[in-house]
Structure 1
Amino acid sequence: MASTQVAPWLSVVVPIYNEEESIPHLYTHLTAALAQIDKPYEIICVDDGSRDGSFALLHELADRDARVRVVRFRRNFGQTAAFAAGFDRARGEWLVTIDADLQNDPDDIAMLLDKAAEGFDVVSGWRAHRQDPFLNRRLPSIIANRMISWATGVTLHDYGCSLKVYRTDIVKHISLYGELHRFIPAIASWQGVAVAEMPVNHAPRRYGTSKYGISRTTRVLLDLITVRFLLSYSTRPMQVFGSVGLILGTLGSILLAYLGYIRLFLGSPLSDRPLLLLAVLLVVLGVQLVGMGLLGELITRVYYEGSNRPIYAVREELNGE
């Protein structure tokens, strides 16, 4: 069994869900690539509720190699939760995320780390020659990447590529849920970090089947709205809800003042005027949105002052601290 006396310099986080065919090949290829880097490392494999023989294989690897740490979820919580569990346990100065299906090339890790050494806190892989079907994988990805870049102000060609390098202290302070793992570079940019992108190799899937389809695009787009809000107004929700509420309320008040004038001074009846209903509706919406802003401020205060809870449940760990 490999020694654990030396603290790891590099932590590699690998989310795994029903990948029993690829795990032996992944371990062989990944350890060979990490040996070339010649730095102490750990591999954190997060079994996201696999129903095949993935955990049994990971158990064998953990018994043979103490650098392999295994986290097993009670059920399938999703890739974001798997990354979050790995981030929570990472001990290295640098952290690498990579998929288990071997479509990402472990040999590219050294290149990304070299780029990070130039002064970047996040280096994202770009599958410039992606080996996936165009209609249901690449086309939605192209659209989503452009929307994310536009909405967040952090321009990347490939937010969905799992092969990324992070300075560990960056991701330790990011709370993940939903599909937010793909937005980490954008969220990290709020902290003022330097982000770079490099083309990486991408291979066709040789083992197992893809766990993602075009239906995932809807969830990503909804999370994009969340990220946009988090980046701009997470600590000041009153400014977004209150601003819209004031605009609507002011417009409704002006309409009511106008209607009041023509009723009191011109004697015109209001019972048949749809404008009256619109004015009342605008005022009510304005009051509601300002109230939502106040509630948002209270919730934000509770969130930042309260304790953080994990978004996953662990069944067992191997070679953990």
Structure 2
Amino acid sequence: MAGLDLSVVVPLYNEEESLPELVEQLLSALRPTGEHFELVLVNDGSTDATAAVLERISADVPELVGVLLRKNYGQTAAMAAGFDVAQGKVIVSLDGDLQNDPADIPLLLAKQREGFDLVSGWRHDRQDAELQRKLPSRIANRIIGRVTGVRLHDYGCSLKAYDRDVLADMRLYGELHRFLPALAFIEGARITEVKVNHRARQYGTSKYGIDRTFRVLMDLLTVWFMKRFLTRPMYVFGFGGLIAILLSLIASSYLLAIKLMGDDIGTRPLLILAVVLGLAGIQLFCFGLLAELLIRTYHESQGRPIYRIRATLRGGRAC
């Protein structure tokens, strides 16, 4: 598998009907390009015959690598498994439901080789229900872009092309697969997007439910924190703790002064507030210290640097 140009990673969950057609379309799109490629298809614990179909097709398609997970872990875990197995210099991901068009892959590769680390697809003419899918998606894209600082029209499009080095240090969990552009941006990646085709669903039903919205929001907060404070958590916890302690000291000093003047402070709500602020401030400050220790363990245990080098110049040339 050495020297592979391209790996196409596709997570599959109950796609027995679309799988044969998907493989056929991928081969039709990629074989004429001359790319040395592999298809990494990950069965995410499907409850239908997806695994059996995948095994049958893999016997006839030399470029196909089938990955069978023990149970249904979710799309993020399936994509992470595919990324770990993939051997290509460039990795392309897409959905297995035939809504992404494999014919767009050469377009993404051409754009990626202009010098970009990540190219994201933009379903500009999306073939989904307006109220159930398109409107919530537009709102989510704006919120995610504002929070992460990476402005893309379509975060939810699975059709993306990545330089292998961009994915090397990423650890995916939750619903973080949709935030890969933001995570790559944290690592210093150059990102762009291109318009791609989008097709109506031909088989089965959507696997996404309203509960997904809550999970995405929680992961969005995680990405925001990683972007702002990944290497300096004390800045957020410690600063909040110091402010709370300062306010507690001011309130306590005021209460002490009026107590010395003979006033009763035992029934004043300000006394309770001063105590709460003091305790909260100490806790936040301690959280910050613990977070600093955890971050150092996180980086040092993996040998993970806090910086990324794009290129080194020797004799005027990048190497």
TM over 0.5: yes
Q: Does structure 2 conserve the Cα–Cα contact (< 8 Å) formed by 1:190 and 1:231?
A: yes
Which residue of structure 1 lines up, in the alignment, with residue 300 of structure 2? 305
Which residue of structure 2 lines up, in the alignment, with residue 85 of structure 1? 81
Q: Does structure 2 conserve the Cα–Cα contact (< 8 Å) formed by 1:137 and 1:214?
A: no
Distance 2:263 2:48 in 1: 76
1:65, distance to aligned residue in structure 2 (A): 1.9
1:307, distance to aligned residue in structure 2 (A): 5.5
- Answer yes or no: is 1:290 the counterpart of 2:300: no
Deviations 1:114-165 (A, max 9, x none): 1112111100001111111122211221111111100110100110100000
Q: Alignment partner of 1:8: what SS? A: coil
Which residue of structure 1 lines up, in the alignment, with residue 40 of structure 2? 44
Q: Does structure 2 conserve the Cα–Cα contact (< 8 Å) formed by 1:247 and 1:286?
A: yes
> What are the equivalent positions in structure 2 for 1:249-268 lying under 5 Å apart?
249-264=245-260, 266-268=261-263
**Which residue among 213, 217, 231 is the counterpart of 2:213?**
217
Q: Does structure 2 conserve the Cα–Cα contact (< 8 Å) formed by 1:136 and 1:214?
A: no
Deviations 1:229-268 (A, max 9, x none): 111112221111111111111111111111111111x211
Which residue of structure 1 lines up, in the alignment, with residue 315 of structure 2? none
Runs of 4+ aligned structure 1 residues displaced above 6 Å come to none
Residue 271 of structure 1 aligns with an amino acid whose one-letter code is: G
Distance 2:78 2:285 in 1: 37
Distance 1:32 1:249 in 2: 65
TM-score (norm 2): 0.92
Gapped runs of 5+ residues in structure 2? 304-319
TM-score (norm 1): 0.92
Which residue of structure 1 lines up, in the alignment, with residue 180 of structure 2? 184
Q: Alignment partner of 1:165: what SS? A: strand
- Answer yes or no: is 1:134 the counterpart of 2:130: yes
Q: Does structure 2 conserve the Cα–Cα contact (< 8 Å) formed by 1:140 and 1:217?
A: no
Which of 15-24 and 252-261 deviates more? 252-261
**Which residue among 219, 226, 232 is the counterpart of 1:236?**
232
1:103, distance to aligned residue in structure 2 (A): 0.2
Which residue of structure 1 lines up, in the alignment, with residue 267 of structure 2? 272
1:215, distance to aligned residue in structure 2 (A): 2.2
Which residue of structure 2 lines up, in the alignment, with residue 109 of structure 1? 105
1:56, distance to aligned residue in structure 2 (A): 0.7
Deviations 1:29-50 (A, max 9, x none): 0110011321100010111001
1:214, distance to aligned residue in structure 2 (A): 2.6
Distance 2:156 2:273 in 1: 44
**Which residue among 16, 22, 28 is the counterpart of 1:20?**
16
Which residue of structure 1 lines up, in the alignment, with residue 115 of structure 2? 119
**Which residue among 7, 16, 20 is the counterpart of 2:3?**
7
Distance 1:232 1:50 in 2: 38
Larger relative contact order (C-alpha < 8 A, sep ≥ 6)? 1
Q: CA RMSD in A?
A: 1.3
Residue 278 of structure 2 aligns with an amino acid whose one-letter code is: V
Distance 1:57 1:158 in 2: 31
